[in-house]
A and B are shown apart, each in its own frame.
Chain A
Amino acid sequence: MDKPKQEIVIASANAPELNSRRDFMKKTGAILGAAGIMSMVPMGTRSAAWAAGSDAPELKEVNVGFIPLTDCASVVLASVMKFDEKYGIKINVSKEASWAAVRDKMVNGELHAAHVLYGLVYGVHLGIGGQKKDMSVLMTLNNNGQAITLSNQLKDKGATTGATLKKLVDSEKRDYTFAQTFPTGTHAMWLYYWLASYDINPLSDVKTITVPPPQMVANMRIGNMDGFCVGEPWNNRAIYDKIGFTAATTQDIWKDHPEKVLGCTAEFAQKYPNTARALIMAVLEASKYIDDMANRRKVAEIIADKSYVNCPVDVIDQRLAGKYEDGLGKKWNDPNYMKFCNDGAVNFPYLSDGMWFLTQHKRWGLLKEDPDYLAVAKQINRIDLYKQAASQVKVAVPKDVMRTSKLIDGTVWDGKDPKKYAASFKVRA
């Protein structure tokens, strides 16, 4: 019996993270009884045993909000492809009109969780802009796949890159207007970072406004803005509609940057841990499915529908498949296209990812004081729940809760000294 005992030790190491010690005891009994067989079963399969029983989700139906963007795909597919049923829940996806509505509905409980901008979750947790509520990040939904579009009017003036844009802004004085999607969100941070890396201060050298993603293209068409940062398919749509071009992809700014997360209130994750785990597992399954490139055309067809992204399939499909053109005549296959799983490298809620948004909130004056960066990221990112879920659907979990990235301006972010990093930027609020 020596060997099986050892196996039980492994199981009990996870036990405090389960909701009930009694459930664990019950399962331990089962494992003991079947010990001879169980010791021969691979670890992944064995740990699935505890999810099947009384770790059943507390809620049968989970309302998950999303905004019409290509990266809502994993949440939508978890429902459409019925990955949710496999884990004992039914995901009701709910298309929302604004990020403010996504936030409000999570806060008031109308939505249990949402496809949401990484930075927005952190902003709400810290009360930037008023409403303060403890929030959680259950997993990262995608890396890459956003872009900065400039208007064809700027192209006519010779501004096709960051450097030539800087020249134009300096030489031809007028109000330049750039749009992003939410003041604390990811697109605001990509846009600000990109402009600043070309020595354009996003807060004082140009005007920044917020426009909901599906309205970006229409707003550029009527001349309301010179550029915008938004998720796909709306950058590709601007090319398709011949009103703008892609000056930079966000993977140019930060290769494999974190983007949308599966967010919820801290209360939801605490009160319904089994439901949260089931939700993560269903979305992880969908993420794996989407990352099989053979499935991407089908994914584009599903999300192109009026109920979801509401955009022609071809406009979505191109960049989803990594086939880029910039609207200036350049075509390329981008190896850093929008990724949804990448064997878990995408989905792990790295603390360094979460902290990065705080450093930028501080940089741009959205936070007046340095927060306790690490403590906030630890409060928000539910690595415990994520790990349990990931191990069950056999998605690899990285060893380190931090990762190291080099951004477009050459600076390296490793999560080690956030305060110093936040203060290190020359162009700032």
Chain B
Amino acid sequence: MKRILIIDDVRDRAAWLKASLELAEFDVVGILAWEQVDERSIQAASADVIIVDANAPGRDTLEQISLMSTTLEKPVVVLGAQKDQQSIQEAMRAGVSAYVSHAVQSEDLSGIINVAAARFLEHKRLRDELKEAKSQLVERKLVDRAKGILMADHGYSEPEAYKRMRNMAMSKGKRLSEIAEAIIFAKELSA
């Protein structure tokens, strides 16, 4: 069940939204006024999805909070931003935020939020994959360099150099890249 936080200064709208969401069996964990929004209150709500009004000035505050704290990255459903369905689709393709028209029916909300959350997760997954790929590349470069040092300085063959590093990593409980880094540092120290 998706946990939802509503941020809205318009109380009856927030109440309507909460009732609609609960009807669709969502768990509305809280309603915040914009002046209550800070890192602590967002953290405390531990929601999966945040719903806000597109025209709220406080949206920039939320941008800073979620950008500066990676643990607080949430899909944000922005209500009332759009004029027509097509632009909603375009906006959703664009990334994190999902944009939903004011004229939306309450029974549509569940699907929309699911879509928003899914889009967000997909985006995050792609970003994480990219990060992972980049760090793997860096690790491989380190290992290659360390292997080269062992081969040049000790006359090991390539498989042997690799095996020694791997054994060391296992016996010390370190990552292979950490051992490689240590070898490179030691070499730089003696150079």
Contacts and interface: CB of A to CB of B under 8 A. Distances in A.
A214 to B, nearest CB: 7
Nearest to B37: A209
A130 B123 contact: yes
Interface string A230-274: 000000000000000000000000000000000000000000000
A97 B55 contact: yes
B94 A183 contact: no
A107 B54 CA distance: 14
B43 interface: no
Contact of A104 (B54, B66, B68, B123): B54
A369 B127 CA distance: 13
Interface residue tally on B, bucketed by range: 20 to 34
Interface centre among A98, A100, A105, by most B CB within 10 Å?
A: A100
B57 A183 contact: no
A222 to B, nearest CB: 9
A394 interface: no
Contacts of B134: 369
A211 interface: yes
A129 B65 CA distance: 10
A67 to B, nearest CB: 10
A223 to B, nearest CB: 13
B82 interface: yes
Contact of B60 (A108, A127, A181, A369): A181
Contacts, number: 90
Contacts of B81: 101, 104-105, 108, 110
Contact of B61 (A105, A130, A210, A214): A210
B96 interface: yes
Interface of A: 97-101, 104-105, 107-110, 127-133, 181-183, 203, 208-212, 214-215, 366, 369
Contacts of A208: 64, 68
Contacts of A182: 60, 63-64
Contacts of A130: 73, 95-97, 123
A211 B60 contact: yes
B87 interface: yes
Nearest to A105: B81
A108 B99 contact: yes
18 contacts: A98-B55, A98-B59, A99-B60, A100-B60, A104-B81, A108-B81, A108-B99, A109-B90, A110-B83, A128-B67, A130-B73, A130-B123, A131-B95, A131-B96, A183-B64, A183-B68, A208-B68, A209-B61
The 3 closest A-B pairs by CB, nearest first: A130-B96, A210-B64, A131-B95
Interface string B83-95: 1000100110011
Nearest to A129: B67
Nearest to A182: B60
A133 B123 CA distance: 14
A100 B87 contact: no
Contacts of B68: 183, 203, 208
Interface in B68-111: 68, 73, 78, 81-83, 87, 90-91, 94-97, 99
A212 B67 contact: no
Contacts of A132: 94-95
A100 B63 contact: yes
Nearest to A364: B68
B87 A215 contact: no
Nearest to A104: B81
B38 interface: yes
B97 A98 contact: no
B58 A212 contact: yes
Given A133-B94, A182-B63, A210-B65, 6 more contacts: A99-B60, A104-B78, A108-B87, A108-B99, A110-B81, A131-B95
A82 B60 CA distance: 32
B57 A108 contact: no
Nearest to B120: A130
